[in-house]
Structure 1
Amino acid sequence: MKRSALLAFFALNFVAAHLFAAERVLLRENMDSDTSQWIGQKGDGSVPLFGQFIADPLGSDKKVLRFDKKVMGGDFFSKARFKAGKYRLSFDYLGTCPAKNCGGVIGISSDFPGRTTWLAGTAAGFPHTLRDSHQWQHYDLTVDAAFNFHLVLEHWVESAGAVGSVHFAGIELAALDEKGGVMAAGASTDYRNLTLESKVLQKPMRVQVYLPQGYDAKKKYPVLYWLPAFNNSESDALYNTGLGGLADELIAKGQLQPMIIVAPQADNSWYTNTASAPSERTFRSDRFGEGRYEDYLLDELIPWTEKQFAVDARPAARWIGGISMGGYGAVALALRHPTTFSRVGGHSPAILGAGRANYRFGEFVLNWLYPDAATRSVRDPMLLVKNAPLDGMQFWLDAGEQDFEILKESKDFAAQLKLRGAQYQFSSGAGGHDSFYWNEERLNRYLRFYGGI
């Protein structure tokens, strides 16, 4: 890690997130099993963890975490994401660095990576100093986190320090009450991982459902169908973005009506009926589900949801949205079924305009979704919007300022909505096709668009 990187990181990838577990100690890592509580700096598994659990080099019977590669960005991020507040963070540290600039760093980050506050390290300038004493040192820190965060472990790499010189053990994070005592965490966000046996797709389909705190089966709740992005699972779209936790917070503040959020398994299908029988296509390293995915969503998922949960089945209380491929699916499905949804969100939507084929699978997807002019006329949102009934629907189109082609397509689509006299809004902001744009503030805005009070 370079010194200039210690004060701030910028998030570049769509990320995972979570809230409190319902227990007194929120995170405990004894290094006695595996690295399942941790993930690399991009938050999607694409960056490996440059460390491993090993036997204590000083001979005790405990296991410890050792950073084992001298590389830039050897971050360990906790998969769990914790609310802003006061905490006790305790851990053991063993440093054996031969150089002054070598050693470990521990802190909290809003993202993978994101806004980062470093709590302790071996160099000057940290609130607490870690000692490279060649002996285990125990630390108890009080953390006053101003934002929702992941715990971050790091090591210096620009110095002459030898590989294997930084070790952590016995990490524990607990919430504190106002008097400084350890308190029980709040109720965990309610995510349900379920399976729907699809007849049209001839296989079980995973569904993740968020239920608001205090969910009452005797009431009726509006529902948001939240469609995953390309190569994202239903859990990536909902649990890993922390969307349910953000909804809990907004509901508690009186800014969002209690609502249900449903994220379906997508299989890179683009939410379209591409074949009468289910199969799979492969292009380079990407897999694309073929079959009646549109029929599955409309004819199976929605009725199943309304049967399983206390859903307000009126179109006025049924919303659909998503990011990237999910944004395309939301817009296309709403235009093809104009009386089904009342609020439609195309967030950085991959609308696939006629001229765009210059990304890794662009030409393949264009030819696959639009094999001829007749098929395109009933699938392309830019053509559908010219004639579809739009009464009763509200749209939100948005994209990052550096998401150049998708930004242009979103503006073009918004212009068509304006010509049709539709209810819509368009917005943009700093960022590209990444989590710097799809940050927590923007996810909160998305939620308020659908169910804001």
Structure 2
Amino acid sequence: MIGLAFIRTALFAETLEMSTDINAVIPMAALRSSRDGKLPVLYLLHGLGGDHTEWTRQASVERYAEDKGIALILPRADRSYYMDMKQGAAYYTYLSEELPAIAKSLFPISDRREDTFIAGLSMGGYGAFKLALRQPERFAAAASLSGSLDIVHRLSEPEVFRNREEERMFGSVVEVQGSDDDLLALAGKVAAAGNQPQLYQCCGTEDFLYEGNRNFLKHAEKVGLRVTYDEEPGGHEWSYWDRNIQKVFDWLPVDKNR
């Protein structure tokens, strides 16, 4: 019998100025055996077309979390790219400031850096790396699965701005390039500072974001940012993500003696 608490939370987010949702998965057996009544936590981010329910609907992350004794926090970020949007809500500020405070007040999760991890797929892979690289003092590890990591390259593709959605999020390519929303620029800053979180990156070789993933990896190697990288055949699809999120759970630097 799996000892899990699955908690659905609806709340008003002051930063977003609207109602939003958070799902949480709490492994109860691990909680009962925890010395301090707190669990290591993985913030798990959804993709552009998904929401806070997709990881639990499409993959077996509840079982993987139970096996590893890790709490999951699954926030809703809509179609935001985890940005403080040029025309829209301040999702980055919400995810980086308000959400952690809410999660720690509601759920039995640790606030230690060494117990705090973040991962995501596609848009969420971009969000996970951005949050971890902009706040390396908060996250011990971050993982991107098929992430949109070279966002400048992605925004430069002619078809991307066809419905102006990305323009409402990011503004222009010129505004993004070299900013803290540009992961390649962030990689150089974090590598130079010497306080990087552990990073895991994977992408399927048939994925339309594969070239951007290779661009990020090449740049990370150039600037001295350490990345554990994995690739295999696969597209932008749940069969790939469910298989590879298991590798992420195995890779996470969880303190087994906590």
TM-score by length of 2: 0.85
Letter in 1 for 2:138: T
Q: Is the CA contact (8 Å cut-off) linking 2:58 and 2:238 kept in structure 1?
A: no
Q: Does 1:409 align with 2:227?
A: no
The percentage of counterpart residues that share the same residue type is: 21
Q: Is the CA contact (8 Å cut-off) linking 1:259 and 1:451 kept in structure 2?
A: no
* SS in structure 1 at match of 2:241: coil
Equivalent in the alignment of 2:74:
263
Equivalent in 15, 24, 27 of residue 212 of structure 1: 27
Q: Is the CA contact (8 Å cut-off) linking 1:370 and 1:379 kept in structure 2?
A: no
* SS in structure 2 at match of 1:266: coil
Q: Distance in 1 between matches of 2:72 and 2:186?
A: 26
Question: Once structures 1 and 2 are overlaid, which stretch shifts more, 320-329 or 215-224?
Answer: 215-224
Equivalent in the alignment of 1:373:
174
* SS in structure 2 at match of 1:354: helix
Matches within 5 A, 1:257-296: 258-275=69-86, 290-296=88-94
Equivalent in the alignment of 2:200:
396
- The Cα shift of 1:374 comes to 4.1
Question: Once structures 1 and 2 are overlaid, which stretch shifts more, 291-300 or 238-247?
Answer: 238-247
Matches within 5 A, 1:14-163: none
* SS in structure 1 at match of 2:217: helix
Q: Does 1:235 align with 2:76?
A: no
Matches within 5 A, 1:427-446: 427-439=230-242, 441-446=243-248
Q: Distance in 2 between matches of 1:206 and 1:390?
A: 35
Q: Is the CA contact (8 Å cut-off) linking 1:315 and 1:341 kept in structure 2?
A: yes
Matches within 5 A, 1:331-342: 331-342=129-140
Letter in 2 for 1:311: I
> What are the superposed Cα offsets for residues 175-197 of structure 1, whole Å, 9 maximum, x if unpaired?
xxxxxxxxxxx246431111232
Q: Distance in 2 between matches of 1:424 and 1:352?
A: 15
Matches within 5 A, 1:183-194: 186-187=1-2, 189-194=4-9
Letter in 2 for 1:395: L
**Cα root mean square deviation, aligned:** 2.4
Q: Is the CA contact (8 Å cut-off) linking 2:184 and 2:220 kept in structure 1?
A: no
Q: Is the CA contact (8 Å cut-off) linking 2:44 and 2:118 kept in structure 1?
A: yes
Equivalent in 297, 303, 314 of residue 112 of structure 2: 314
Q: Distance in 1 between matches of 2:187 and 2:253?
A: 24
Q: Is the CA contact (8 Å cut-off) linking 1:346 and 1:398 kept in structure 2?
A: yes
Q: Is the CA contact (8 Å cut-off) linking 2:12 and 2:20 kept in structure 1?
A: yes
Q: Distance in 1 between matches of 2:189 and 2:54?
A: 34
**Compared with structure 1, are the counterparts of its residues 394 and 451 closer, same or farther at alpha carbon in structure 2 (3 Å cutoff)?**
closer
TM-score by length of 1: 0.50
Q: Does 1:329 align with 2:138?
A: no
**Compared with structure 1, are the counterparts of its residues 418 and 355 closer, same or farther at alpha carbon in structure 2 (3 Å cutoff)?**
closer
**Compared with structure 1, are the counterparts of its residues 370 and 449 closer, same or farther at alpha carbon in structure 2 (3 Å cutoff)?**
farther
Letter in 1 for 2:249: L
Q: Is the CA contact (8 Å cut-off) linking 1:197 and 1:205 kept in structure 2?
A: yes
Q: Distance in 1 between matches of 2:102 and 2:80?
A: 20
Choose between structure 1 and 2: higher strand proportion.
1
* SS in structure 2 at match of 1:350: coil
**Compared with structure 1, are the counterparts of its residues 265 and 374 closer, same or farther at alpha carbon in structure 2 (3 Å cutoff)?**
same
> What are the superposed Cα offsets for residues 113-146 of structure 1, whole Å, 9 maximum, x if unpaired?
xxxxxxxxxxxxxxxxxxxxxxxxxxxxxxxxxx
- The Cα shift of 1:417 comes to 2.1
Letter in 1 for 2:54: D
Q: Is the CA contact (8 Å cut-off) linking 1:338 and 1:390 kept in structure 2?
A: no
Q: Does 1:449 align with 2:247?
A: no
Q: Is the CA contact (8 Å cut-off) linking 2:59 and 2:238 kept in structure 1?
A: no
Letter in 2 for 1:435: W
Q: Is the CA contact (8 Å cut-off) linking 2:65 and 2:71 kept in structure 1?
A: no
- The Cα shift of 1:229 comes to 0.7
- The Cα shift of 1:422 comes to 2.8
* SS in structure 1 at match of 2:239: coil
Letter in 1 for 2:13: S
Q: Distance in 2 between matches of 1:408 and 1:193?
A: 37
Q: Distance in 2 between matches of 1:225 and 1:362?
A: 29
Aligned length: 246
Q: Does 1:347 align with 2:158?
A: no
Choose between structure 1 and 2: higher helix proportion.
2
**Runs of 5+ consecutive residues of structure 1 not aligned to the other structure:** 1-185, 280-289
**Runs of 5+ consecutive residues of structure 2 not aligned to the other structure:** none
**Compared with structure 1, are the counterparts of its residues 383 and 392 closer, same or farther at alpha carbon in structure 2 (3 Å cutoff)?**
closer
* SS in structure 2 at match of 1:272: coil
Equivalent in the alignment of 1:197:
12
- The Cα shift of 1:220 comes to 1.9
Q: Distance in 1 between matches of 2:115 and 2:5?
A: 21
Equivalent in the alignment of 2:228:
425
* SS in structure 2 at match of 1:204: strand
Equivalent in the alignment of 2:64:
246
Q: Which has the higher contact order (CA 8 A, sep 6+)?
A: 2
**Compared with structure 1, are the counterparts of its residues 359 and 375 closer, same or farther at alpha carbon in structure 2 (3 Å cutoff)?**
closer
